[in-house]
Amino acid sequence: MDNHITFEDIVHATSNGILVTDARGMLLHLNREAEKILELQAGQHLGRFISDVLPLTGPQVMECLQTGRPKLGHQIIGKKVDLVLSITLIRKNGDLLGAVCTFQELGAFENMAKKLRSYKRLNRQLETIFKASSDGIWVCDGRGTVISINEASERLNGIRAREVVGRNVSQLVADGLFDRSVTLEVLKNRGQVSLMQYVQRTGRYLLATGTPAFDDDGRIHLVVVNERDMTDLNAMRRELEQSHMAVRKMKDELVELSMLELKRHGIVAESPSMQQILRAALKLARLEASNILILGQSGTGKGLLAKFIHQSSDRARHPFIQINCAALPEHLLEAELFGYERGAFTGAREQGKAGLFELAHGGTLFLDEVGDLPLPLQAKLLKCLDDHEILRLGATRPKTIDCLVIAATNQDLEEQVRRRRFRQDLFYRLNTFSLKIPPLRERRDDILELARHFLSRYNEQYDMNKRLSGSGLQLLLRHPFAGNVRELKNILKRAVVMAEGEVLDDFLRAILEPAAAEAGQAPGGRIRLAHELQRTERRLIREAMARCRNTRELAAELGISQPTAVRKMQRYGLRFR
């Protein structure tokens, strides 16, 4: 059996139709694809004149034989089939021997042309992406030989493509271009691999991800490697951390400014409970919320908080009117609140008088000790809050009012409601928003700061230079302060004015220790208890400091404010190492 491949075998195997003529145009050969496309039998037409067999194609072949010039890509529109043909001439030793005509159906040719255009377009797109990518890209074959790298990879690795294309990545590792190769790991594991590579030339750390591409037989024929510069990412992370530090510093400064602003209003808030109340008060002020009820023992600063809410609101430029509901008898209180017309009662002014609701128009009316308001006036106050109108005594027409109403009391209004001494509907109306100030004995963090605040105020007021030592401050911390902030304020005012020496400790001891003894609490016992409390506090702070790096973290660990943490460290002589 002869397995030798002949030229005839090759011609018959081609996908294009082929016909051959001699110099006179006589058909010498038709391959099988030509028979199929033209629907001819070669045996019936060989030796015939081509124009007789193919009236459209023949003249084109004859023209080439006569002119001696080939034709390429010529279209023939036939009855049965449309063709694209190319005609070339056969020459030997300068003599024209014949012509070869290759052709294919126009539809198949157009499909190939479309595919070619599509492939070219896709190739341009991929090439653009490859070149424009800011990440480095390597393409290696299934043996690890570098086929191509993009410009970003040249920059990241400090190389030129011509230095590495055609070389195996194992050689590049051996040469020290990078410490290890993700391509080798992909070929070893037959899957996607990511690893960090250090590039010695540029000193950069690259996150390299290699992805295999498999052929139809399941073999890796390409490895595509994507490189991302983590050096820049680390720099961005450091910049972000610095930005966060700047934001934290700004927030701390804003907190300090807020505390200074509160102190300007005479409000000290070092304890978490008081800071929470002030944040809520500030929010209510900004929302211009009305019907706020402030609860707290006498002397805790309810009036100061009411004024702070007013001054923090958009109504700060308008009046803040305050009245103590327990200070006036019922008939005078009604006239003060709602006003009266001329001749409304005996002794009334001839021109009448505007009430406090009218005077507070556009601003804030503060009803202190509202729990002592007589029941008849409670009904009239409720109507005023509901209708936003007041009726002067002796008047027949109401007046519209626009003011925020803040009420305060040291009484348990719910108990007063149960005893029918306070209207339930008025309680719910006033209690839309409530703020409860804790007694001073429950917020020890505020005592020292309040003491410094009042001491500074009275030293300036009376041109003194009085001060407290640690012993004096401990006396204040041990005192129960039944009168709350008002008692502390009066004690320090009395001490600044009356004490003989510059240090107020002895004067405070003479005032405060007898008071403790009268309450049945021995000074000696209190001092021992305070000493133990201080020892325990110092130990807890030292243990927390061992887990923290700065005062901000220490404050968060202990659940106190940062200024308080700083003061406690100073009090006990502690510092971070």
* 389: alpha, beta or left? (left if phi > 0; alpha if psi -120 to 50): beta
What average pLDDT is seen over the chain?
83
- Banded pLDDT at 480 (limits 50, 70, 90): confident
Flag whether pLDDT at 116 surpasses 70. Answer: no
Q: What is the pLDDT of residue 344?
A: 65
Query: SS3 breakdown of the chain: % helix, strand, coil, rounded to 5?
Result: 50, 20, 30
- Banded pLDDT at 64 (limits 50, 70, 90): very high
Torsion angle defined by CA atoms of residues 68, 73, 77 and 78, in that order, rounded to the nearest 10 degrees: 70
| Tens digits of residue pLDDT in 287-325 | 888 889 999 988 888 998 999 889 888 898 999 999 988
CA 24 distance to own-chain centroid:
86
Question: Contact 227/137 with Cβ under 8 angstroms?
Answer: yes
| CATH level 3 topology of 442-571 | Helicase, Ruva Protein; domain 3 (1.10.8)
| Tens digits of residue pLDDT in 536-554 | 888 888 888 888 878 888 8
Flag whether pLDDT at 520 surpasses 60. Answer: no
More confident residue, 336 or 78: 336
| Tens digits of residue pLDDT in 407-432 | 999 989 999 899 898 999 999 998 88
Q: What is the pLDDT of residue 56?
A: 87
Flag whether pLDDT at 195 surpasses 80. Answer: yes
The CATH number of 7-111 is 3.30.450.20
Neighbour-count burial of 398, counting CB atoms closer than 10 A to its CB (0-12 exposed, 13-18 middle, 19+ buried): middle
Q: What is the pLDDT of residue 99?
A: 92
| Tens digits of residue pLDDT in 451-469 | 888 898 889 988 889 888 8
Q: What is the pLDDT of residue 345?
A: 67
Segment 436-444 mean pLDDT: 89
Q: What is the pLDDT of residue 346?
A: 62
- Phi, psi of 19, rounded to the nearest 5 degrees: -130, 150
Sorted by where each begins, the domain ranges of the chain are 7-111, 133-233, 265-438, 442-571
Q: CA–CA separation, 420 vs 92, rounded Å?
A: 131
Angle at 115 between CA 113 and CA 118, to 5 degrees: 110
Could you tell me where the beta strands, DSSP code E, fall in 267-342? Answer: 292-295, 320-324, 339-340
Residues in the chain: 577
Q: Do domains 7-111 and 133-233 have the same CATH topology?
A: yes
Q: What is the pLDDT of residue 249?
A: 61
**Amino acid residing at 121:** R
Q: What is the pLDDT of residue 525?
A: 42
**Amino acid residing at 128:** T
Flag whether pLDDT at 497 surpasses 80. Answer: yes
Flag whether pLDDT at 576 surpasses 90. Answer: no
Question: Contact 554/537 with Cβ under 8 angstroms?
Answer: no
Task: Say whether domain 265-438 belongs to CATH 3.30.390.10.
Answer: no
Flag whether pLDDT at 115 surpasses 90. Answer: no
More confident residue, 200 or 210: 210
Segment 434-450 mean pLDDT: 88
Question: Contact 262/254 with Cβ under 8 angstroms?
Answer: no
Segment 257-261 mean pLDDT: 52
Nearest to 343 by CA among 394, 306, 292, 304: 394
Q: What is the pLDDT of residue 240?
A: 76
Q: What is the pLDDT of residue 514?
A: 59
**CA 263 vs CA 304, 448, 555: distances in Å:** 11, 14, 21
Q: What is the pLDDT of residue 517?
A: 41
The CATH number of 133-233 is 3.30.450.20
Q: What is the pLDDT of residue 573?
A: 72
More confident residue, 314 or 134: 314
Flag whether pLDDT at 489 surpasses 70. Answer: yes
Flag whether pLDDT at 2 surpasses 70. Answer: no
More confident residue, 516 or 284: 284
Flag whether pLDDT at 258 surpasses 80. Answer: no
Segment 503-522 mean pLDDT: 67
Flag whether pLDDT at 147 surpasses 50. Answer: yes
